[in-house]
A and B are shown apart, each in its own frame.
Chain A
Amino acid sequence: MYPILEKRELSPSVKLFVVQAPAIAKKCQPGQFIILRMDEAGERIPLTIADFNRQKGTITLIFQEVGCSTRHLGRLGAGDSILDVAGPLGQATHIEKFGTVVCIGGGIGVAPVYPIARAYHEAGNKVISIIGARNAELLIMEDEMRQVSESLHITTDDGSKGRKGLVIDPLKELIAAGEDIRLVMAIGPVIMMKSVAEVTRPHSIKTLVSLNPIMVDGTGMCGGCRVSVANKNKFACVDGPEFDGHEVDFVGLMARQRMYHEAERIEREAGSCSCHH
């Protein structure tokens, strides 16, 4: 059992847990994730390690309630426990001093980008961050991102915070202004990562994206998380989750993410899933 020590609501649908998991906290690096199973009937779902404290033996998870498992999880509070947490999984982000690095987080993607931005910052890079969300209420971790960034740009779809528009707008301007960008790290909805990769491709700016296909075991055993990268199949849980954005088949990834849409709808409507108990 993995006790939840602290819970915060970052927005009505985005929750933060600080979870006791000493073995994972001891080992994890920016870019890695865990797989948890809430209870006996639960499914195995991946969540990024958004922060960690090696002394206290804790990891921080930030998740958006999008379906039955995340909604059910959101009902837990400090003092409750999660049945299974396995990790750290995936390859750690390669951190070194590159020069100027642009970190882009869209929606819940800000959570995974934060520890990476912090690590780039600590390695002496000039970190320029762009974070975006549908609206002000859904924008998370602004203060944390500001602390590790040389400058921070905010965009919202409806203009309720920062400037109205998409995260690629400030990115295009930075490129146009001649900023010597050595690396772009983009994490968010697939469609956002795809558009970032399209913006940087003509300028040959190295662009990393963190992929979130449907996973089961997270250890390379099922192959469910396969994505086509440079026309080769990769298992995102062990080969990734980060890949070169200019080589990823985003269209294939989006189609595979929809594989259980019908089942997910049935699950919500049946009211029989564990989140209704």
Chain B
Amino acid sequence: MPSLRHKMPEQSAEKRRSNFSEVALGYTADTAQAEASRCLQCKTSPCRQGCPVEVNIPAFIKHIKDGQMDAAIQEIKHKNNLPAVCGRVCPQENQCEKHCVLAKRGQSVAIGRLERFAADHGQTHDNGAHPALKESLGKVAVIGAGPAGLTAAGDLAGLGYQVTVYEALHAPGGVLIYGIPEFRLPKDIVRKEIDSLKQKGVTIEVNAIAGKTFTIDELISEQGFDAVFIGTGAGLPHFMDIPGENLNGVYSANEFLTRVNLMKAYQFPATATPVHVGKNVAVVGAGNVAMDAARTSLRLGAENVYIVYRRSEDEIPARSEELEHAKEEGIQFHLLTAPVKINGNDKNWVTSLECIRMQLGEPDQSGRRRPLPLEGSNFELPVDTVIMAIGQGPNPLVQQTTPGLAVNKHGNITADEAGFTSKEGVFAGGDIVTGAATVILAMGAGKKAAAAIHDYVQGKKARNHG
């Protein structure tokens, strides 16, 4: 009988429902070493195939087992610029841990938790040694300071490029800073990861909106950048186009989470940005975004928080840990339920969400069984707030102002595996190319693009000199 995974210490559900502190508290060194001892150090290390950035998992785990924590974090950082983030938010059960040989018994090595442990150790024990800047190999601009852009920037700076990241908002981090809540990913952790990029020589300019403040063509022709990487994410919120969506009290998840996370509305009125929650909140959707919005509403004082999802529990796309945490905290699930209408009062405020029950029919293109409405099963959920978390599309600002940049029918930038777009010298990756996906996939794309940019710039320089 193989040993069991070590549990993650957590704040109790009762306590954390009313605070914004991190839910998962992290392994102690002893637990981490004990968990690391479970790893079989497989020669083939199948776990690595599940990691989009190919972290050398057995190697860093062995360092933890041996108590060499500095070596562990250095090993991870060869491949992963944001380990404290990935250790917390990667859907590990579908990635590295899914491929672990122990996963067959449902007890894979807790790779994510160990990565988090090593990264947190690294953040608190920074030895201050940073590689000196090499002579510049060229100038690269990165648009968007989300995981894709930051990863590309970090790798390029490491290779010896002068890198400037342009970010539209007043703070870098992308979804890590405006979307994912403090209780799941403390903003201090994100800021420290970003600071370590700055120490690598990356320059970050905030309040810089590509397509508005400047164009991609200007970066190349006027500012002398050798290449541009676009990592602008999937920031455009979708609405359902049902009646009542413009009532007061209806939010996109983006707006709700931005007010709370980026603008710190949970400290209002000490901070100046308000947010409305009320007693009863319905969140439409069941992905990570929906779980974050629901659990945030709870922490802001809502008494009843409902997840309204048109498919069944099996199709819930959120990370399994988030789903578990949401249930423990008392989020109420209306599965196989779809909103049809939002009702309001004469002051234009939401009073209820009208829903219809669904049943699962034949599989659709995605292979999941298609939800079909059950005629006559309409019912009303009395709520003060409705949060739409049904997905995001690509923001069009860059595409509209960059002639020669091909996009697909959804407006996503077309790019190949390496990040090459249809436009010379312009690369793209992350959610802007794939549509809303995951942090680690965006980072993987940033990494591949950094390598491609390096080849491209050096090739061009060689040709120009030859």
Contact = CB atoms under 8 A, between A and B. Distances in A.
B255 A89 contact: no
A94 B228 CA distance: 30
Contacts of B214: 23, 27
Nearest to B167: A86
Nearest to A84: B170
B255 A273 contact: no
Contact of B237 (A88, A223, A263, A266): A223
Interface stretch (A39-47, A109-117, A129-137, A171-179): A39-47
With most chain A CB atoms within 10 A of its CB, the pick from B207, B239, B259 is: B207
B271 A41 contact: yes
B263 A222 contact: no
Interface stretch (A56-64, A141-149, A193-201, A213-221): A213-221
Contacts of B462: none
B25 interface: no
A273 B274 CA distance: 11
A217 B397 CA distance: 13
The 4 residue pairs across chains A and B that have the minimum distance between CB atoms: A255-B348, A263-B274, A222-B255, A86-B207
B246 A263 contact: no
A264 B274 contact: yes
Contacts, number: 126
A224 interface: yes
B258 A43 contact: no
Given A220-B395, A222-B252, A43 B272 contact: yes
A221 B237 contact: yes
A216 to B, nearest CB: 6
Contacts of A220: 235-236, 395-397
Nearest to A21: B207
Contacts of A266: 269
Contacts of A219: 168-169, 209, 212, 235, 395, 397
Contacts of B236: 220-221
B377 interface: no
Contacts of B273: 43-44, 216
Contacts of B274: 260, 263-264, 267
With most chain A CB atoms within 10 A of its CB, the pick from B258, B270, B273 is: B273
A226 to B, nearest CB: 6
B452 interface: no
B248 interface: yes
B369 interface: no
A20 B193 CA distance: 31
A81 interface: no
Given A223-B237, A256-B246, A267-B268, A43 B263 contact: yes
Interface of A: 23-24, 27, 37, 41-44, 68-69, 72, 83-89, 216-217, 219-224, 226-228, 233, 238, 252, 255-256, 258-260, 263-264, 266-267, 270, 272-274
B209 A260 contact: no
A80 B237 CA distance: 36
Nearest to A2: B207
Contacts of A37: 170
Interface in B306-362: 347-348
B104 to A, nearest CB: 42
A41 B270 contact: yes
Interface of B: 168-170, 206-209, 212-214, 235-237, 239, 245-246, 248-249, 251-252, 254-255, 258-259, 263-264, 268-274, 276, 347-348, 395-397
With most chain A CB atoms within 10 A of its CB, the pick from B208, B246, B264, B397 is: B246
B246 A42 contact: no
A138 B170 CA distance: 33
B397 A238 contact: yes
B348 A256 contact: yes
Given A27-B212, A86-B213, 9 more contacts: A88-B213, A216-B273, A217-B258, A220-B236, A221-B237, A252-B348, A259-B276, A263-B274, A272-B269
B213 A255 contact: no
A48 to B, nearest CB: 15
Contacts of B347: 255
A263 B347 CA distance: 16
A167 to B, nearest CB: 27
Given A86-B209, A223-B237, A267-B272, A216 B248 contact: no
Given A43-B272, A258-B248, A224 B212 contact: no
A260 B271 CA distance: 14
A221 B258 contact: yes
B267 to A, nearest CB: 8
A248 B193 CA distance: 45
Given A84-B206, A221-B258, A255-B347, A89 B237 contact: no
B263 A223 contact: no
A198 B212 CA distance: 34
A182 B214 CA distance: 33
18 contacts: A23-B213, A68-B269, A84-B207, A85-B207, A86-B168, A86-B213, A219-B212, A219-B235, A219-B397, A223-B237, A223-B239, A223-B252, A223-B255, A226-B239, A233-B246, A259-B249, A263-B269, A272-B269
Contacts of A221: 235-237, 254, 258, 395
Nearest to A277: B270
A89 B248 contact: no
Nearest to A89: B212
A223 B209 CA distance: 17
B272 A42 contact: yes
With most chain B CB atoms within 10 A of its CB, the pick from A44, A87, A222 is: A222
Contacts of B207: 84-86
Given A44-B263, A266-B269, A273-B272, A259 B248 contact: yes
